[in-house]
Chain A
């Protein structure tokens, strides 16, 4: 078990230079979640057009894993159909649960977070943004 598995360069890059970390006016999905254990906070915001993600952003504070995960999430979901988001969330959760045979192609850069699985106490950090997204999408669907 090496720290290099946890802190991959791509993760540190997203941590130091987070993508889409900004407000998003007129977001259709805007939800804040926190991890009461460590105080991490993530707001995930999504603009929806024609059943797809037109824009995605996040704000919040937390450790490198939670911030990088949120940053990668916003990059990944832009342009995706809402219907496909749920599959992606499932795929990501599967990887975090240590399931073999996760679809690396579907996950892309997110595969860098695989190392977190070896640090069970940090898994919550990685899935925080994804929990937020999932609940946000569910709430949006109920409302629309």
Chain B
């Protein structure tokens, strides 16, 4: 079992105080996670000892940096259970870039007028806008995969929305607003039966749940590093090797080529075909260290800790009068995310007020405007948890929420 009070000691940021002398109650890890010392040290060591551009030079330093970068790729391949190993891992600067890569490169080659792209109603804009662009370019149509009032994928509608016109089904592994963990394998089975592919947005899922892309049945799996203890600018795409082989490149430039003439070029083997230009290689080395760190904690322990925390948060928050929690009621069905609406206090005001107590939460539409409309709320407040959060953090949130309500709902003593 993971002890968050010990885990916190690995994260230097918790040594600081905010708003005078208040401890930092960080409940915004779905936005970005904090970084453990191990990752910060890996970055420092890389820059101090091994920094040289990768795959280009012959000297010792360059060999070391290339080895560190490719080593990170191997770690990611294992962490995600890539059947064909590191050649199936393309590094990108973000999960968003990874999804854009698929929408442009795969989409350009495979989408035609009359084709359908199925997208769930709970997607982050990063798994929607690239597909809108791909649809406009190809004449394909976007079809919504509805969700239930509880915030689960509406599996009863699945046979209606996934048809022989469907070319790809795009679904998040875990909702950044509702926390819903989607039954990807079930969706993949239905999609594959219709000859469609499945893209999983793993931005939220990867940091919190053990991942095996083959068991999920995914064809594309996009992930980001900065939500899983890694540096910003790190992330990537896993895709089945045969898909990557068949896809045209996305970005053109250095390193993704084999031979170049003035009017044409041949392309590098996968995954390098998709890595044009100087990559954020130090960040990827940092991401490799983050994977090591999470493996040391154990992803099963990470998950158990979060189920417990979310259960506690649901219990404490739902006891507040006038507070509505969105998403599944069962902690087993959701990741470490709780979004809620509090009567009389707008999320923006709530977030500002609890901040003065050192409590960091996100307020807004969470880049999911389609979902906000479906929930019929203008915005929500979101508290999200990770390995360093404790039940006391939830208590601090609950107390601060009480303060916010008092301020906004009653007369002030002037």
Enumerate chain A interface residues (CB-CB to B < 8 A): 3-4, 6-7, 9, 12, 15, 37-41, 61-65, 119, 122, 125
Among B353, B379, B407, the residue within 8 A (CB) of A39 is B379
B contact residues around A119 at 8 Å (CB): 352
Instruction: Check if B261 is an interface residue, CB within 8 A of chain A.
Output: no
B contact residues around A122 at 8 Å (CB): 348, 352
A contact residues around B372 at 8 Å (CB): 39
Instruction: Check if B75 is an interface residue, CB within 8 A of chain A.
Output: no
Instruction: Check if B64 is an interface residue, CB within 8 A of chain A.
Output: no
A contact residues around B407 at 8 Å (CB): 3, 7
Instruction: Check if B414 is an interface residue, CB within 8 A of chain A.
Output: yes
Instruction: Check if B136 is an interface residue, CB within 8 A of chain A.
Output: no
Instruction: Check if B408 is an interface residue, CB within 8 A of chain A.
Output: yes
Instruction: Check if B262 is an interface residue, CB within 8 A of chain A.
Output: no
Q: A62-B348, A63-B349, A64-B349 are in contact. Are A39 and B378 (CB under 8 A)?
A: yes
Of the A-B pairs whose beta carbons lie under 8 Å apart in the complex, a sample of 29, sorted by A's number, is A3-B352, A3-B353, A3-B407, A4-B412, A7-B407, A7-B408, A7-B412, A9-B411, A9-B414, A12-B408, A15-B408, A38-B363, A39-B365, A39-B378, A39-B379, A40-B348, A40-B378, A41-B378, A61-B378, A62-B346, A62-B348, A63-B347, A63-B348, A63-B349, A64-B346, A64-B349, A65-B349, A119-B352, A122-B348
> Are B348 and A38 interface neighbours, CB within 8 A?
yes
Residues from 330 to 347 in B contacting A, C-beta threshold 8 Å: 346-347
A contact residues around B346 at 8 Å (CB): 62-64
Q: A12-B408, A38-B348, A38-B363 are in contact. Are A62 and B378 (CB under 8 A)?
A: yes
Query: In this complex, what residue of B is CB-closest to A62?
Result: B346
Interface size on B, residues (CB 8 A): 19
> Are B378 and A37 interface neighbours, CB within 8 A?
no
Give B309 Cβ to nearest chain A Cβ, in Å: 27
Q: Which 10 A-B pairs have the closest CB atoms?
A: A63-B348, A63-B346, A39-B379, A39-B365, A38-B364, A39-B378, A63-B349, A64-B349, A61-B378, A9-B414
B contact residues around A40 at 8 Å (CB): 348, 378
Query: In this complex, what residue of B is CB-closest to A37?
Result: B364
Query: In this complex, what residue of A is CB-closest to B410?
Result: A12
Query: In this complex, what residue of B is CB-closest to A60?
Result: B378
Contacts A38-B348, A39-B369 given; 16 further ones with Cβ under 8 A?
A3-B352, A4-B412, A6-B352, A7-B412, A9-B412, A9-B414, A37-B364, A39-B372, A39-B379, A40-B378, A61-B378, A63-B349, A64-B349, A65-B348, A122-B352, A125-B348
Complex Cα gap A63–B365 (Å): 13
B contact residues around A38 at 8 Å (CB): 347-348, 363-365, 379
Complex Cα gap A118–B349 (Å): 14
Give A127 Cβ to nearest chain B Cβ, in Å: 14
Complex Cα gap A26–B372 (Å): 31
A contact residues around B352 at 8 Å (CB): 3, 6, 119, 122
